[in-house]
Amino acid sequence: MSTLAAFPAPRRIVGRTRRRRAEALIPVRAGGVHHVDLVVSSIERSLPFYRELLGPLGWHGMSEVEGERGETIWYLNGPETSIGLRERQTGDGPYDRYSIGLHHLAFEASSRRAVDERAEWLRSVDATLESEPQEYTYSPGYYAVFFFDPDGLKLEIVHTPALAA
């Protein structure tokens, strides 16, 4: 039995009035990721790190939102998505990317030069690099640097020529 067989087939919504039927058939825009929230151990440490890391990649906007527990979420707004940073409220163990959750998060760069420049900045702030900028075989021209944020979350800055075109 396939995994998809466990999910019910989509149903067509039939409304009682023409207006409801018309609303049910309006196409919904789908596409990219709207936002991702990351939990960090210290906003005071992580917010400047992410602002300085992402600013040169076009992430210039920032907003503040109240979370479901009354906590402040700081959103850094990029070209097509946002990253939320919220301070940890429970637990004190280190992040484990091989446990359930996020393995790593990749940010797109417009050029190889931008990847190299961000790697230089990471070195200047003593961030831990997992690897120097280099080509990978994931797709033609895939050029990336892998590194860790102040809490040990694995991040990536990547340039792929196909995405830049």
Average pLDDT, integer, range 59-65: 95
Contacts of 38 (CB under 8 A, 6+ apart): 46, 83, 84, 85, 86, 102, 105, 153
Q: Residue 56, exposed/middle/buried by CB under 10 A (0-12, 13-18, 19+)? A: middle
pLDDT reported for residue 3 = 46
d(CA 45, CA 115): 23
Confidence of residue 29 (pLDDT cuts 50, 70, 90): low
DSSP class of residue 27 equals: P
165/139: higher pLDDT: 139
Helical pair 112-124 and 43-54, crossing angle rounded to 10 deg? 150
Confidence of residue 10 (pLDDT cuts 50, 70, 90): very low
Instruction: Quote the strand ranges of the chain, DSSP E.
Output: 35-40, 61-66, 72-77, 82-87, 104-108, 129-135, 143-148, 154-159
Let me know: does 100 contact 65? Beta carbons within 8 Å: no
d(CA 139, CA 161): 10
In order of their start, the domains of the chain are: 35-164 (3.10.180.10)
Task: Kindly report, residue by residue over 82-141, the tens digit of the pLDDT.
Answer: 999 999 988 777 777 777 678 899 999 999 999 999 999 999 999 999 999 999 999 999
Q: Which of 46, 45, 43, 148 is nearest to 102 (CA)?
A: 148
DSSP class of residue 150 equals: T
d(CA 6, CA 2): 7
| pTM of structure | 0.76
Count, residues in the chain: 165
pLDDT reported for residue 164 = 61
